[in-house]
Amino acid sequence: MTRTRSGGCLCGAVRYTLVGEPFLVGTCHCATCRKESGSVLVAYAKWPLADFRYSGRIVTHSGRSFCPECGSRLFNLHDTDVEIRIGTLDDPPTGLVPMQEGWTKRREHWLTPAYEVPQYDEDPPL
């Protein structure tokens, strides 16, 4: 049976659904991800764009889509895929384990590296 996940913003004005499993799950410690998230890293997952639907009004800045009502950062829409912030899923993302970790040269010393996954000092290869 194909799994469907749902998520959305803090205020509920934007909702989305994802069908199937992501083809990539990762974390990023780069300065851009830190600034846009207000955190020390971003945890994300990518699905084919065909497996993604959303409703509600979004605003996009530099490829990053967010809710204009509450400001929640939700996803990045690309030509063939969507990269969601896994913290915006309705259910805890416990089954979404990182497959790679990027910009590890900026990882805080008190954070443990993701277990047994490729580590990249900067951007992972595409």
What is 48-94 written as a DSSP string? Answer: EGGGEEEES--EEETTEEE-TTT--EEEEE-SSEEEEEGGGBSS--T
| Domains defined along the chain, listed by start | 4-106 (2.170.150.70)
- pTM listed for this prediction: 0.93
Question: Diameter of the chain by CA atoms?
Answer: 41
**pLDDT for the residue 94:** 86
Q: Indicate the burial class of 28 (C-beta count within 10 angstroms; 0-12, 13-18, 19 or more).
A: buried
SS3 46: strand
**pLDDT for the residue 117:** 96
**pLDDT for the residue 10:** 97
pLDDT tens per residue across span 21-67: 999 999 999 999 999 999 999 999 999 999 999 999 999 999 999 99
**pLDDT for the residue 93:** 87
Q: What is the mean pLDDT of residues 75-83?
A: 96
pLDDT tens per residue across span 80-106: 999 999 999 999 988 999 999 999 999
**pLDDT for the residue 19:** 97
Q: Is the pLDDT of residue 126 over 90?
A: no
Structure tokens at 29: 């410690």
**pLDDT for the residue 9:** 98
